[in-house]
A and B are shown apart, each in its own frame.
Chain A
Amino acid sequence: MKFKNLKIDTPEKLLFGVAPAPVITRRGLVIGGGQVYAELNFTLPVMGINKSTYQEVYNHYQEIVEGALERALHLESRGVVLEFETLLEMTKDPDLGVRIVEIMNEVCEHYYQRYGLISEIRLTPNDLREFERPAFQRTSAYLEPMMELFERGMLAGGDLLSIESTGGKEVSDEALMMCDTKAMVFALAVLGVRDMQFLWSRICALAGKYGKIAAGDTACGFANTAMVLAEKKYIPKVFAAIVRVISVVRSVVAVEQGAVGPDKDCGYEGPFLKAITGIPISMEGKTAACAHLSPLGNIAMACADLWSNESVQNIKLLSGMAPVAYMEQLEYDVRLLNEAIRAGSGHTAILQELLVASDMYTDPQALILAPENVIRISRELVKGDTYVANARNGALAALNIIEESLQTGQMKLSEMETSQIPMFREDLQSIPDDESQFIEMMLPMLDEQKFILSEYGL
């Protein structure tokens, strides 16, 4: 791992709105430069996507962006990021995806030219390689439309480039269901890391070619899947917390390859990335409840540079269309954060303390996101020589923090949860520092028909 020291090494400096390496966008947002902006995420209502519905699709995106920016303008927004998280058809057929970016960008430009409202588009294509099992991570024909959408989409106005890549998912899906910590480390710190190196070297090269912003990648298909499974009580919350920490070592690779942030909203590993690399991050919390539930409603906001929601359908509510309603919610949250920043460090500290304290001990996944714990875990995530060692060390630090809070009585978990902790610890402690040794140890335990090692450069 390239990062050996933390860019933010004290909890007090891990704060919302401020990042050591702010990102300046084309129209002038300074993300992480002293204020927080809203990032709106939206999707289509229930409908099919095929050539006969393309016009309807275009109309929806136009309506969403116009409605959202009109509301942002009315609320005197200081700037907005609009995330275009494509649906599978929009990456499979880059023409469709590019046309939607063009439509969105025309609206953004109109509001910028006419009213001075700054907005930018985050373009997030799908990782189509998942369509093949086992996946051909490096040789799949699906890479072509993905990269085409990145390239043509950024030229059409998608300035921030992100993806939720899926390298290692062939192993992690089963590992999640079995709560297999070693297999999760293999999926994320061996396969995931290698795939991120492959993919992000290409995305960063494209971004560099056109002067666009390689923003970052989230472990949504891994750690958020764990979080949602834990919310359903399918797996222990403690395991979901460990998976979140392990996911950091794969998500940080995008930054190693040249990504500069803002990391994408659904990456609850964002605070660790911010501490380790100094990039600004987007976060979502209670505002994501339209798409998924979480135990991180307030604490997720504690060090956000963009405050986001999760895909909200373009459906009618009593107040208006749902994305417009969410735009308003985000703007009011952001106003509060920015007012605290304006009022000074005493106010930001108090607001952050309240955001953290209100969630921290209600769930181990929230506990690890408290700034002091983010810093403590992040130190462990960078101290080793390999991604594997760092994943193990970070996860063990998280377990220590969870156990300490149980011992002090600050956090309470059911016996079903606590009984799993010794097993997780034992599994993690059996992981060697050396990646080759770890791979040798794991391969006999994994179903090698489910993944192709050579597609990961192994």
Chain B
Amino acid sequence: MLPGILKPIIFTLENQQLFIADINNETMNVILEKLLEAVESGKIDQKSPYPPQLKGQDGASELTVQALEAGIVPQLILEDALIPAMGNVGKKFSENKIFVPQMLMSARAMGASMIHLKPYFSSGEIRTKGTFIIGTVKGDLHDIGKNLVAMMIEGSGWSVIDLGVDVASDKFVATLNEHKGAVVGLSALLTTTMVNMEEIVSTIKEQVPNTTVLIGGAPVNTDFCKKIGADFYSPDPQGAVEYLNKLVAA
């Protein structure tokens, strides 16, 4: 059962007559559960044909509007619907129960919801878990794995800044200076570019001390992570999400 917060709301009827009603926990829970289901199943909006079993039904976009109109606190929408939905998706993915496209559809559904929540991020009514800066290291152009990690971390409630591919240490440092306390993720796929991680990690640690740096990619492992002074290596996106969640909980 989802928690709820009692709050008066205003319904607008066709005859323009207004009245105030009390929304109860049950109503709120129904909306949040529907939103969770929409995001988990990748239902972006009513027009979206995917998934076929929800054809014609409200999607994440409409349900978020309904939730806001029902007076549900934006932070609750994020924490009790969107993040758990993406958490379920991540779990299914790591258990090989769904493919990437289903996960991406869920991310898009979450994105459709976030459009309506954006003003609340700006005003500070919603707080993310933190900022995560990610990029493929200098000399390397591979980004499929990096994109998956970025998407999963965003889905777990972090604000993600994706610097793209072929990213040098100065760009990481500059972005870190703009976003104090952010965590950094580095990706590499080549044995000749993984070595660039070392320089980037050492520059970051020197210029922005106490920054946590995660690394990932086919040629790297925990030993390499320790050797270059990074903080964590994850072989998959879910591992990175779990590590970041522990950081927040600590």
Q: Does B239 sit within 8 A of A, measured CB to CB?
A: no
Q: Does A47 sit within 8 A of B, measured CB to CB?
A: yes
Interfacial chain A residues near B141, Cβ < 8 Å: 88, 130-131
Interfacial chain B residues near A88, Cβ < 8 Å: 139, 141, 192
The CA of A177 and the CA of B146, in the complex, are separated in Å by: 12
| Cβ–Cβ contact A234 & B99, under 8 A | yes
Q: Does B100 sit within 8 A of A, measured CB to CB?
A: yes
Interfacial chain B residues near A235, Cβ < 8 Å: 99-101
27 chain-A/chain-B pairs, Cβ below 8 angstroms: A43-B192, A44-B191, A44-B192, A47-B191, A47-B192, A47-B195, A48-B195, A87-B192, A88-B141, A88-B192, A89-B139, A130-B141, A133-B164, A173-B143, A173-B144, A176-B144, A177-B101, A177-B104, A177-B144, A178-B104, A179-B100, A229-B144, A234-B99, A234-B100, A235-B99, A416-B99, A420-B99
| Cβ–Cβ contact B99 & A48, under 8 A | no
> Which of B101, B143, B148 has most chain A Cβ within 10 Å?
B101
| Min distance, Cβ A379 to any Cβ of chain B, angstroms | 31
Residue of B99, B143, B144, B192 near A233 (CB, 8 A) is B99
| Min distance, Cβ A219 to any Cβ of chain B, angstroms | 16
Q: Does B147 sit within 8 A of A, measured CB to CB?
A: yes
Q: Does A32 sit within 8 A of B, measured CB to CB?
A: no
Interfacial chain A residues near B147, Cβ < 8 Å: 177
The CA of A130 and the CA of B144, in the complex, are separated in Å by: 14
Q: A44-B191, A89-B192, A173-B144 are in contact. Are A229 and B166 (CB under 8 A)?
A: no
Q: With CB as the reference atom, state the residue of chain B lying closest to A57.
A: B192
Interfacial chain A residues near B164, Cβ < 8 Å: 133
Residue of B96, B100, B191 near A313 (CB, 8 A) is B191
1/0 per residue, CB under 8 A from B, across A232-255: the answer is 011110000000000000000000
| Cβ–Cβ contact A87 & B99, under 8 A | no
The CA of A46 and the CA of B100, in the complex, are separated in Å by: 30
Q: Does B190 sit within 8 A of A, measured CB to CB?
A: yes
Q: Does A225 sit within 8 A of B, measured CB to CB?
A: yes
Q: Does B187 sit within 8 A of A, measured CB to CB?
A: no
Report A166-186 residues with CB < 8 Å from chain B CB: 173, 176-179
| Min distance, Cβ A63 to any Cβ of chain B, angstroms | 16
The CA of A89 and the CA of B192, in the complex, are separated in Å by: 10
Report B145-193 residues with CB < 8 Å from chain A CB: 147-148, 164-166, 190-192
Task: Show the binding face of A for B, using Cβ within 8 Å.
Answer: 43-49, 87-89, 130-131, 133, 173, 176-179, 225, 229, 233-236, 313, 416, 420
Interfacial chain B residues near A87, Cβ < 8 Å: 190, 192
The CA of A182 and the CA of B216, in the complex, are separated in Å by: 31
The CA of A235 and the CA of B100, in the complex, are separated in Å by: 6
The CA of A343 and the CA of B164, in the complex, are separated in Å by: 55
The CA of A176 and the CA of B219, in the complex, are separated in Å by: 22
Report B79-115 residues with CB < 8 Å from chain A CB: 96-101, 104
Interfacial chain B residues near A233, Cβ < 8 Å: 96, 99
The CA of A158 and the CA of B101, in the complex, are separated in Å by: 42
Please list the 4 inter-chain residue pairs (A to B) with the smallest Cβ-Cβ separation, ordered nearest first. A48-B195, A234-B100, A179-B101, A46-B191
Task: Show the binding face of B for A, using Cβ within 8 Å.
Answer: 96-101, 104, 139, 141, 143-144, 147-148, 164-166, 190-192, 194-196, 219
Q: With A44-B192, A179-B100, A234-B100 given, name 6 new contacts (CB 8 A).
A: A43-B191, A46-B195, A47-B191, A88-B139, A133-B165, A178-B104
Q: With CB as the reference atom, state the residue of chain A lying closest to B98.
A: A416
Interfacial chain B residues near A43, Cβ < 8 Å: 191-192
| Min distance, Cβ B95 to any Cβ of chain A, angstroms | 10
The CA of A327 and the CA of B68, in the complex, are separated in Å by: 65
Interfacial chain A residues near B139, Cβ < 8 Å: 88-89
| Cβ–Cβ contact A229 & B100, under 8 A | yes
Q: With CB as the reference atom, state the residue of chain B lying closest to A291.
A: B218
The CA of A46 and the CA of B198, in the complex, are separated in Å by: 12
The CA of A89 and the CA of B219, in the complex, are separated in Å by: 18
| Cβ–Cβ contact A225 & B192, under 8 A | no
| Cβ–Cβ contact B192 & A178, under 8 A | no
| Cβ–Cβ contact A46 & B96, under 8 A | no
The CA of A420 and the CA of B51, in the complex, are separated in Å by: 12
Q: A89-B139, A133-B164, A173-B144 are in contact. Are A48 and B96 (CB under 8 A)?
A: no
| Min distance, Cβ B137 to any Cβ of chain A, angstroms | 11
Interfacial chain B residues near A131, Cβ < 8 Å: 141, 166
Interfacial chain A residues near B144, Cβ < 8 Å: 173, 176-177, 225, 229
The CA of A44 and the CA of B194, in the complex, are separated in Å by: 12
Interfacial chain B residues near A89, Cβ < 8 Å: 139, 192
| Cβ–Cβ contact B192 & A48, under 8 A | yes
Q: With CB as the reference atom, state the residue of chain A lying closest to B139.
A: A88
The CA of A228 and the CA of B216, in the complex, are separated in Å by: 17
Interfacial chain B residues near A45, Cβ < 8 Å: 191
The CA of A179 and the CA of B42, in the complex, are separated in Å by: 15
| Min distance, Cβ B245 to any Cβ of chain A, angstroms | 22
| Cβ–Cβ contact B101 & A49, under 8 A | no
Interfacial chain A residues near B190, Cβ < 8 Å: 87
The CA of A133 and the CA of B143, in the complex, are separated in Å by: 12
The CA of A184 and the CA of B104, in the complex, are separated in Å by: 17
The CA of A284 and the CA of B141, in the complex, are separated in Å by: 24
Interfacial chain B residues near A133, Cβ < 8 Å: 164-165
Q: A46-B219, A48-B195 are in contact. Are A178 and B101 (CB under 8 A)?
A: yes
The CA of A178 and the CA of B42, in the complex, are separated in Å by: 12
Residue of A49, A130, A236, A420 near B192 (CB, 8 A) is A49
The CA of A131 and the CA of B191, in the complex, are separated in Å by: 18
> Which of A46, A173, A178, A420 has most chain B Cβ within 10 Å?
A46
Q: With CB as the reference atom, state the residue of chain A lying closest to B108.
A: A178
The CA of A89 and the CA of B195, in the complex, are separated in Å by: 14
The CA of A81 and the CA of B144, in the complex, are separated in Å by: 32
Interfacial chain B residues near A236, Cβ < 8 Å: 99
Q: With CB as the reference atom, state the residue of chain A lying closest to B193.
A: A88
| Cβ–Cβ contact A177 & B100, under 8 A | yes
The CA of A43 and the CA of B166, in the complex, are separated in Å by: 21
| Min distance, Cβ A64 to any Cβ of chain B, angstroms | 14
| Min distance, Cβ A309 to any Cβ of chain B, angstroms | 16
The CA of A176 and the CA of B147, in the complex, are separated in Å by: 13
Interfacial chain A residues near B191, Cβ < 8 Å: 43-47, 313
The CA of A233 and the CA of B98, in the complex, are separated in Å by: 9
| Min distance, Cβ A11 to any Cβ of chain B, angstroms | 32
The CA of A252 and the CA of B139, in the complex, are separated in Å by: 30
| Min distance, Cβ A426 to any Cβ of chain B, angstroms | 11
